Copies of this chain bind each other. A is one copy, B any other.
Amino acid sequence: MFRHDSRLQFAAKPDKPDPLYARKLQELIGGAYGEMTVTMQYLFQGWNCRMPGKYKDLIMDVATEEIGHVEMIATMVARLLEGAPATATSKAAAADPVVGSVIGGMDVQQAIVAGGGPLPSDSNGYPWNGRYIVASGNLLADFRANVSAEAHGRVQTARLYQMTDDAGVRDMLKFNLARDTLHQNLWIQAIAELQADGLEGTVAPNALLDEEHAEHATSVWHLSDGEHGQEGGWASGPQPDGRHEFGYLTDTEPLGDVASAPPPDPALYATYDGSQGEPRGPALGTEAGLAGKLKDKLT
């Protein structure tokens, strides 16, 4: 269960309204790496965590903080939109190039749909969606997604920092940048700890390493003609997992058969000349098990 404190985690006071920037900030609300993403990603990871204890509690601490980040930036967007020339007519916009260039760059839905407020969308007006997040239950894979999200979040915040000279906006972004720095370090640390605790290894998942075709876990296949790909540390030497050696395969011949599709079901009307014969059917498991016995008995 959640509780809400009306105060923002950190100040979100622009010196002056700036409707152009209000559009750009939408990326940090509803973009693929915006605050809605880390909020929902961490919440679902926390709820899906299978071990009571430090990992689950950490995830929920950070998840709960992120809801407040959506709130901070949403508030900032509303304040940046104060007094925006949202209802200036096109004629007025075109008549005054100053107004005109502002109108052109605004997010029109912030006015038409939200009445001068924030949207759950990114800076191109595309709505946030649930496919942006992952909570696989495998904490190594999930924490890597978290490091990635915080890294992209900080890269985008840094870019946005450069797009304004408003001291109030920058003050808030300096807080966000710092949290993104911490959170990158934090998830890196948590990955190290998962490994130290013996819960996960270098490769996710820590399984099927003996079943997989180990001979194909070694070499980069040289399939583009750039000459420098083999100059990296990934072309030779031990791999980070300590189990494999890196290689660089320049003689890249396909190992499989010619790609082909099987004979089609005539009732599906694929174009077909009959050259591959009739399709065989799937194995539905009737040879054994309950249904098989049934068929034997009854028919």
Contacts and interface: CB of A to CB of B under 8 A. Distances in A.
Interface string A179-217: 101101110111011101001101111011101111111
Interface in A60-113: 60-65, 67-68, 70-72, 74-75, 78-105, 107-109, 111-113
**Copies of this chain in its oligomeric complex:** 6
A95 B159 contact: no
A216 B182 CA distance: 8
A251 interface: no
Interface residues of A, number: 233
Contacts of A265: 83-84, 86-87, 111, 115-116
Given A90-B20, A126-B131, A280-B82, A57 B151 contact: no
A295 B94 CA distance: 12
A237 to B, nearest CB: 8
Interface in A23-65: 23-24, 27, 30-33, 36, 40, 43-44, 46-58, 60-65
Contacts of A219: 182
A285 B74 contact: no
B138 A10 contact: no
